[in-house]
Amino acid sequence: MSFDLSLITESIPKMLAGIGITFQLMFLSAVLGLILAVILLLMRISGKWYLSWPAQVHIYIFRGTPILVQIFIIYYGLPQFEFIRDSVFWPILREPFGCAVLALTLNTGAYVSEILRGGVLGVDRGVLEAGSALGLSARQKFIYLTTPIATRLALPAYSNDFISLMKATSLASTITLLDMTGIARTIVAQTFAPYEVFISLAIIYMILTWIIQKSFGRIEKYLSRYVNP
Amino acid sequence: MDAVTGWWDDYFWGSMIVLQVFFFSLLLMVLFGLIGAAAKLSDNRLAQKIAGAYTVIFRGTPEILVILLLYFGSAITLTAIAQMFDPDIKFIDVPPMWAGTIAIALIVGSYATETFRGAFLGVKPGSIEAARALGMSNLQTFIYIRIPEMWRLALPPFGNHMLSLIKDTALISIIGLNETFFVAKQAIGTTGEPFTMYIVVGCIYLAFSTIITLSVMGMEKFGARTGEGAR
Amino acid sequence: MTNPTSDALIQMINVDKFFGEFQALTNINLEVKRGEKIVICGPSGSGKSTLIRCINRLEEHSAGRIIIDGKELTDQVKDIDAVRREVGMVFQSFNLFPHMTIVKNLMLAQQLVRKIPKAEAHKTAMHFLERVKIPEQANKYPVQLSGGQQQRVAIARALCMKPEIILFDEPTSALDPEMINEVLEVMTDLAKEGMTMICVTHEMGFARSVADRVIFMDAGEIVEEAEPEIFFNSPKSARTKAFLSQILTH
Ligand SMILES: Nc1ncnc2c1ncn2[C@@H]1O[C@H](COP(=O)(O)OP(=O)(O)O)[C@@H](O)[C@H]1O
Ligand SMILES: [Mg+2]
């Protein structure tokens, strides 16, 4: 057993060829997941049981099961049904990429919705009362007071979830997608050099984590300018 | 759901394996977390650095990669060592259960490190000083004040760590652990009903998560009752 | 049922308020005329905040009637919004919008509720910031101001809406002693200009010099109601006496 340096220099560019897929999975799911999270949040705080219940069930299921199960149910499970194969969604659900994005979106949407809810609950009640006393409607309070304040409160937790999402994109390799992890696994299968390949890849992911942390740190600093000016 | 009939016992044994991995990884996770926290809180620069690297590495790397690395890495390392003694050995197979258990314990342990460290630092110096002022010894203060207070602070995130562990056991199926996923795969091979089979897996995990969540809620209530009162 | 004829700006008639089983207000009857200044005092938990919060419906009263400027507070949302536009409120903890600059704090409701164009809202905001003597802080964020300054901003924010009446809920009790006077000065100026005010406060000097009537509350009831001279010099109820002796020895 020896550490093969040339193997590292060879495999890193090969793995980086998959970074596009990793990024696509990450950003698509992040955007769609955020939209889903906001919808779930609005459903939860709507005060109407027929809206808040389905949202809570979604959150409960997607936070209570492993994301790998969710990916497998969507990719391997759904085609069991003919009506799915006949539906307009089939072109998406047939592809591992579409399934991965769908699973990651549903999953991160559930987590982020809880994070956002924490932010909303963290908004000082007195500030909202001041809004009411000035005659702002419920909708105006939500848009002009709750949303900006809750965003700042939720951001640290959101950045952690974003990192989790980035790491979860690697699971797309389990449904044949050749993202960075998928490529690494094929290289290891050929060379049987797990240390060189997987450690190099781990370092790439750590750099991505670091970049995400720094970027969110920037945003956080900007949004907190009124807290520590 | 008829297709599942005949597979229930397999799912049951698969679930037992999930539980087994969960309990062992839980023990290890607490151990790693405590060691990590102790190192971060110690005065030893090297220990701090190592613990710092530990948390950065395991929080910044995808779980599946850690599992793959530990599994294949330990296999070729052990093979190489064995070959030094007996060149005829072709390959040593590491049980996926052990590689997987250690891997997920290391991952979640890196999060637990921060939890335990935060809980230790979160204990208000005031309550410690008050206890000392009442004449309690160092040990008494530690047992009656610091531990319960730390427990109260650490419990909610610790509940999340347990949920992470139980869900991460699913990832070990990737290196061939014969837990519920593995059962589902076999069942699909004969029944051709992937949706049904994976839904069963999902339900099993949902049940485990629910049990963990409820027990943590129960413990929190208990802690609130015996805790230092209103806060 | 028609509104009882009265020239009062605020009428509370047999108002009760329950929080679940707990009765926070019992049979409150209160009339406030245009231009009147009312000071409410009483021990903590006696229902002072609840009373004034019922006036702009931050709390819903459980029984009785509340009529503001001829409009009765009912479940109709439109009425409540109309009433809230007439009633300003200043809170103990200022409750400025932390994410907006001072001038934006003053402009927001003008623009959203009164639909005033931005430039005019800005002009009004600056006008009232000058009235409370801190125009130079316009572009800072609330955390950058002292408590006294924040409370003056809160008063200016209420004034920007051109309310008929302003409710004050212990506006100085969260302030450091050296900042109390700057806020009381602004309030006294307002009173002199004829603003209708209901003020929960334990600043008895302010009550003596500004109030037309002082109201003493205990256990959710109005125990005593009198002009300041009479209230401080010859209170009728034993509960008022006990309370005053406590407050004044402090
Ligand atoms: N939202 C609420 N829910 C339940 N009880 C309340 C609520 N608000 C006030 N109370 C109770 O009503 C009583 C009067 O409160 P409050 O009007 O705030 O008193 P004050 O302002 O005179 O100190 C207190 O006993 C308080 O505990
Ligand atoms: Mg009060």
Q: Where are the domains of chain A?
A: 20-179
Span from the CA of C92 to the centroid of ligand 2 (angstroms): 8
**What does the block give as tokens for A49?**
């049981």
How far is Cα C36 from Cα C8, in angstroms, rounded to an integer?
A: 10
Q: Is the pLDDT of residue A175 over 60?
A: yes
**What does the block give as tokens for A22?**
């990793």
What's the pLDDT score for residue B24? 96
Task: Assess if CATH 1.10.3720.10 describes domain A20-179.
Answer: yes
Residue B21 lies in a domain: yes
Return the percentage of chain A with pLDDT > 90, whole number: 77
pLDDT category at C228 given cuts 50, 70, 90 is: confident
Which ligand 1 atom lies nearest to the CA of residue C53?
17
Chains A and C touch (3+ CB pairs under 8 A): yes
Residues with CB under 5 A from ligand 2 (ion): C 49
Strands C196-200, C221-226: parallel, antiparallel or unpaired by DSSP?
A: unpaired
Report the mean per-residue pLDDT for chain B: 88
What's the pLDDT score for residue B225? 61
| Residue position matching structure tokens 């701090």 | B48
What's the pLDDT score for residue A101? 96
How far is Cα B178 from Cα B201, in angstroms, rounded to an integer?
A: 13
| Cα nearest neighbour of A57 on chain B | B206
The partner residue sitting opposite B205, judged by closest CB among A64, A169, A181, is: A64
> ipTM, 2 decimals?
0.91
Which ligand 1 atom lies nearest to the CA of residue C44?
23
Contact A199, A13 (CB under 8 A): no
pLDDT category at C79 given cuts 50, 70, 90 is: confident
| Residue position matching structure tokens 């029944």 | B191
Compute, in degrees rounded to 10, the torsion defined by CA atoms B146, B148, B152, B153. 10
What's the pLDDT score for residue B226? 56
pLDDT category at C243 given cuts 50, 70, 90 is: confident
Contact B29, B87 (CB under 8 A): no
Average pLDDT on B80-99 reads 85
45-104 of B, contacting A, C-beta below 8 A: 56-57, 59-66, 68-69, 72-73, 76-77, 79-80
Q: Is B229 on the interface with A (CB under 8 A)?
A: no
Residue B190 lies in a domain: no
Average pLDDT on B7-33 reads 93
Is the distance from the beta carbon of residue C201 to the nearest atom of ligand 1 less than 6 Å?
no
Average pLDDT on C33-41 reads 93
- What is each CA distance from B18 to B14, B172, C79, in whole angstroms? 6, 10, 60
The partner residue sitting opposite C113, judged by closest CB among A124, A135, A152, is: A135
Sequence-ordered list of residues with C-beta below 8 angstroms from that of B64, at least 6 positions apart, any chain: A170, A171, A173, A174, A181, B171, B174
Residue B38 lies in a domain: yes
pLDDT category at B8 given cuts 50, 70, 90 is: confident
A177 vs B189 pLDDT, higher one: A177
Residue B217 lies in a domain: no
Sequence-ordered list of residues with C-beta below 8 angstroms from that of B42, at least 6 positions apart, any chain: B48
The partner residue sitting opposite C98, judged by closest CB among A134, A136, A226, is: A226
Q: Is the pLDDT of residue B227 over 60?
A: no
Sign, CA torsion C41/C46/C50/C54: negative
Q: A144 vs chain C: nearest CA distance in angstroms?
A: 9
**What does the block give as tokens for B230?**
């209103």
What's the pLDDT score for residue B229? 42
pLDDT category at C244 given cuts 50, 70, 90 is: confident
Q: What is the pLDDT of residues B137-176, one digit of tens each?
A: 888 888 888 888 888 889 989 999 999 999 999 999 999 8
Residue B204 lies in a domain: no
Q: Is the pLDDT of residue C138 over 50?
A: yes
Sequence-ordered list of residues with C-beta below 8 angstroms from that of A82, at least 6 positions apart, any chain: none
Ordered DSSP codes for B161-196: HHHHHHHHGGGGGGGT--SHHHHHHHHHHHH--HHH
Compute, in degrees rounded to 10, the torsion defined by CA atoms C181, C182, C188, C194. -160
DSSP C140: S
Q: CA B132, B134, B140 angle in degrees (round to 5)? A: 55
Ramachandran area for residue C47 (φ above 0: left; ψ -120 to 50: alpha; else beta): left
Span from the CA of C50 to the centroid of ligand 1 (angstroms): 6
Cα C147 from chain centre: 18
Domain count, chain B: 1
Cα A150 from chain centre: 19
Lowest mean per-residue pLDDT among A89-93, A219-223, C86-90, C148-152: A89-93
How far is Cα A158 from Cα C64, in angstroms, rounded to an integer?
A: 48
> Nearest ligand, CA of residue C24?
1
pLDDT category at B35 given cuts 50, 70, 90 is: very high
pLDDT category at A27 given cuts 50, 70, 90 is: very high
Q: Is the pLDDT of residue B40 over 80?
A: yes
Contact B3, B187 (CB under 8 A): yes
Interchain pair A210, B199: CB under 8 A? no
Q: Which of C102, C205, C98, C84 is nearest to C152 (CA)?
A: C102
| Cα nearest neighbour of A228 on chain C | C143
Domain of B121 in residue numbering reads as 15-182
Contact C32, C6 (CB under 8 A): no
Compute, in degrees rounded to 10, the torsion defined by CA atoms A57, A60, A62, A63. 160
Contact B87, B79 (CB under 8 A): no
What's the pLDDT score for residue B228? 45
Phi then psi dihedrals of residue A219, to 5 deg: -60, -40
How far is Cα B65 from Cα A167, in angstroms, rounded to an integer?
A: 9
Span from the CA of C173 to the centroid of ligand 2 (angstroms): 10
CATH number of the domain within which B144 lies: 1.10.3720.10
How far is Cα C18 from Cα B41, in angstroms, rounded to an integer?
A: 52
Residue type, A110: A
pLDDT category at C6 given cuts 50, 70, 90 is: low
Q: Is the pLDDT of residue A65 over 90?
A: yes
Interchain pair A194, B72: CB under 8 A? yes
Residue B131 lies in a domain: yes
What's the pLDDT score for residue A229? 59
| Cα nearest neighbour of B163 on chain A | A64
What's the pLDDT score for residue C146? 92
Q: Which residues of A touch C78 (CB under 8 A)?
A: none
134-163 of B, contacting A, C-beta below 8 A: 163
Return the percentage of chain B with pLDDT > 90, whole number: 53
Q: Is B111 exposed, middle or buried (0-12, 13-18, 19+ CB in 10 A)?
A: buried
Contact C125, C139 (CB under 8 A): no
Interchain pair A152, C56: CB under 8 A? no
Ligand 1 pocket test, pick from C15, C16, C17, C19 with the greatest ligand atom count within 8 Å of Cβ, gives C19
DSSP A146: I
Q: What is the pLDDT of residues A125-173, one digit of tens each?
A: 999 999 999 999 999 999 999 999 999 999 999 999 999 999 999 999 9
Q: Which of A173, A179, A159, A160 is nearest to A219 (CA)?
A: A159
Report the mean per-residue pLDDT for chain C: 90
* Separation of first and last alpha carbons in chain A: 56
Q: Which of B130, B118, B141, B152 is nearest to B227 (CA)?
A: B152
Residue B93 lies in a domain: yes
Span from the CA of C24 to the centroid of ligand 1 (angstroms): 6
pLDDT category at C2 given cuts 50, 70, 90 is: very low
